[in-house]
Structure formats: structure tokens, C-alpha cells
Structure 1
Amino acid sequence: MPAHPLKLMIVDDHPVVRDGLRGMFDHVTDIEVVAEASDGFEALAMARRARPDVVLMDLRMPGLDGVGAIERLHADHPEIKVIVLTTYDTDADVMRAMAAGVAGYLLKDAPREELHRAVRTAAAGGAVLAPSIASAIIGRPPTQEPSPREVEVLRLVARGAANKEIARTLLISETTVKTHLKHVFAKLGVDSRAAAVVVAMERGLL
């Protein structure tokens, strides 16, 4: 157990859903719900104050929706990991969320233990995808295998490293890191860092 519990924020426009999710973490000693928000704008304000490690984010909300909030959070607080938690698993919803830079995508019927595990995994820099979504992504045919250098970049992504840290570790520019990631996404047939890590692990690249 870590010295300090992981700080979790719940974002959903339905109070009953927020209460239910909070209850799922009531007796978990290593995760503490530190904030709740009912829309994207409130989520941004609460994130500034509460500084959560992980956010469980609904997609469809009034005002600023989940994807808009994720994009803003990613820009302002890149250290905060976001897991989408929604009832929607269409390709368009998944790809919009993945492109916004989420650490994972789960459906609201996920069991309590899966939610706990997802929060811990995301906080550690890992990727989390609902089985149905992972199957759809992994089922896409690859074009070609990533180069050894691209795999090095991907391995650091899997550890939760940001582009700046990857550039410093590999002694390359951030622009080169972005180029490598663009090539990796194309070769693996994915649209995000989280999906790239999942697919790479499934194919034994990491």
C-alpha cells in the first residue's frame, strides 16, 4: 500500500451515478475520492483545487462534454490520468476519447474490482481498456512492425513517460518523439498512446 492513498475525482452529470461510484471506493484503503464534478467546466475547476491522480470521466454531459474536458485537463495537468467511464462503446466515441489522450476506457457495467484495478493501473502509467473495446482495437490488422527505436519510445510511453521525458531519456527532440509516435500509431492501427500500449503488449512487442 502506498504511503498516501491515490487521489480520485469522479465526473458525471448524474448524482446517483456519482454516489454509486463513490460507494465503490468507500472501503478501499489505497484510493481516496477527493472530488466530484457534474460537468466538464466544474471538473477543470475541481482538478485545479484537488489535484487528483486519476479522474473517472463521463463522456456525455451538458456544457463542456467529457472529451472537451479531457483535452483541457491534458493540456493544463498532463500528470493527471483520465479513465473514461461511460455507457457508450461506439467506434466514434472510443476514438474521440483515445485521441484526447486518455489512460483508459471502461463501460459503466464494469465490476467494482475492475474499477479499483483500473485506477491503480492508470496511476502507475498503464493503459486500461474494457475487453470489448480492446478486442475491437486489437482486431485491426497491422500494417508493419514498429522499428526498434519506435519500440523504445513505446516502452517509455507504457511506463507513463511524457514526450519531454522520453526525449530527455533517449537524447532526441520532442518533435522526433512525436514523429516516432505518429509512425507507431499508423503501424499498429491505433489512435492513442493507451491503445498503442495495449496492442503492443498483445503482440509481444513490450
Structure 2
Amino acid sequence: MPLRQISFHIVHPEAVLAAGLHALLDGQPGLRPAPLGEADVLLTDYDHALRHAGQVAARILLLTQRDSECELRRALDGGVHGYLLQSCSAEELRLAVRQLGRGQPYLSPALRPGVADGARRAHLTGRETDVLRLLALGRCDKAIARELGIGLGTVKTHVKGVLSKLDATARTHAVVVAAQRGLIAVRPPDSRPQAGGSAGA
């Protein structure tokens, strides 16, 4: 029985890189180039991947230098099927294309230890992420409840969820873990004018 052909299409802003990818894939057993509308796999960069996700029938294989958990999670949440680092070998590139062509996902094993597992496990909800960002700014539960317009009990529930998903023992630990994984950008607490201070000349 002849090997099923997996069709691929490449969209990349760097023409030289796109040509190199095409040369590595074209003519390989079971692989053939095709127009975007007919391709099984779309191989593209980070920004184009998110732009095309959900808009094309092809399964999307993202090739990038970005390796933070935040960026990986954003891509997977956005509908990307495969995540490949630009430092991959030609063999890994072909493996990833074939795997997506068979309907299976692919995550580069070169991702930093814990990044891929963390992206799968620590799937914070939008509200949990909001709470986490405010925790990073030093807000107490009452301040978080006020800023988000939710009840104090709800805040505590979200905090508990954040601690559990990040395997953190305390709030400060959760902020440190989240920052290390690239889930949040830690900024110094807001500098707020003291009551009664000078408002200017």
C-alpha cells in the first residue's frame, strides 16, 4: 500500500527561512507541498500561527524561538496544534509535520524542563490570572475584590485555585513560580501619592 502523502504549506515572514524549510521537506517520503487551502499542515511563525488559528482547515505547526510557558500556553489556547523550536533538527521538523499530518499534536522536547508540563497543568482561568497579577502587585484580598468587582469569598477561592495549579505553598511563592514560568511580568508595587501630600504648585 503506498504511503499516504501529507501535504504542507509554509507561511513565514523571512523568505530565506521559508525557502530553507521548503527544501528540508519537499521530496521527503510521504511529504508534499500544497496550496494553503489544500494543505494538511501549515508551518508558520508565532504571529501568523495565532492569526491563522481557527481560520484554516490545516493543522498549525508553529516554528519559533519563543520558549516561555506563557507563550506556549497562549499558542495552545489559540488553537495551535504543534510547537517547534527554531533550533530543531531537520529530522525533528519532518517528524513534527508527519505527526500533525496524522492528527496528533507535537511539542518540542527541547522546551525547558517543566515548560510543556506546566503549560498543560497550570491552565489558569482568566479570573485566576487577574487575581495572580494583583497578588504580584502586593494587593490584599479586599483590594483585589474591590478592583475586580467580585466578592471576598470569590477572591479566596481563586487564590486557592492559583496555589493549587502552581503547586505553590503560599501567595508569594505563587508569584515567584508564575514569574519564573513567564505567566506574569512582575512590576514593583504601584507608587501612590500619600493622602494630604502636595498636589503640585
- TM-score normalised to structure 2 length: 0.54
Residue 57 and residue 142 in structure 1: after superposition, are their counterparts in 2 closer, same or farther (change >3 A)?
closer
Number of aligned pairs? 124
What do the CA deviations read for 1:72-109 (whole angstroms, capped 9, x no partner)?
A: 22xxx2xx211111121123321121012222100111
Shift of 1:13: 0.6
CA distance in 1, matches of 2:87, 2:67: 12
Shift of 1:10: 0.7
Higher helix share: 1
CA distance in 1, matches of 2:23, 2:121: 41
* Structure 2 residue corresponding to 1:56, chosen from 18, 25, 43: 43
Shift of 1:141: 9.4
Task: Report the 3-state secondary structure (helix = DSSP H, G, I; strand = E; otherwise coil) of the residue aligned with 2:27.
Answer: coil
The answer to whether the 8 Å contact 1:2/1:30 transfers is no
Counterpart residue number, 2:59: 81
Q: Are positions 1:71 and 2:54 aligned together?
A: yes
Task: Report the 3-state secondary structure (helix = DSSP H, G, I; strand = E; otherwise coil) of the residue aligned with 1:96.
Answer: helix
Residue 2 and residue 86 in structure 1: after superposition, are their counterparts in 2 closer, same or farther (change >3 A)?
farther
The answer to whether the 8 Å contact 1:58/1:66 transfers is yes
- TM-score normalised to structure 1 length: 0.53
Counterpart residue identity of residue 54, structure 1: V
Counterpart residue identity of residue 103, structure 1: H
RMSD: 2.7
Residue 105 and residue 142 in structure 1: after superposition, are their counterparts in 2 closer, same or farther (change >3 A)?
closer
* Structure 1 residue corresponding to 2:92, chosen from 90, 114, 117: 114
What do the CA deviations read for 1:91-147 (whole angstroms, capped 9, x no partner)?
A: 33211210122221001111011111111111112121011437313257969xxxx
Counterpart residue number, 1:166: none
**Percent identity among equivalent residues?**
27
Counterpart residue identity of residue 56, structure 1: L
Task: Report the 3-state secondary structure (helix = DSSP H, G, I; strand = E; otherwise coil) of the residue aligned with 1:126.
Answer: coil
CA distance in 1, matches of 2:165, 2:33: 35
User: Gapped runs of 5+ residues in structure 2?
Assistant: 123-163, 167-201
Counterpart residue number, 1:96: 74
Counterpart residue number, 1:176: none
Counterpart residue identity of residue 59, structure 1: Y
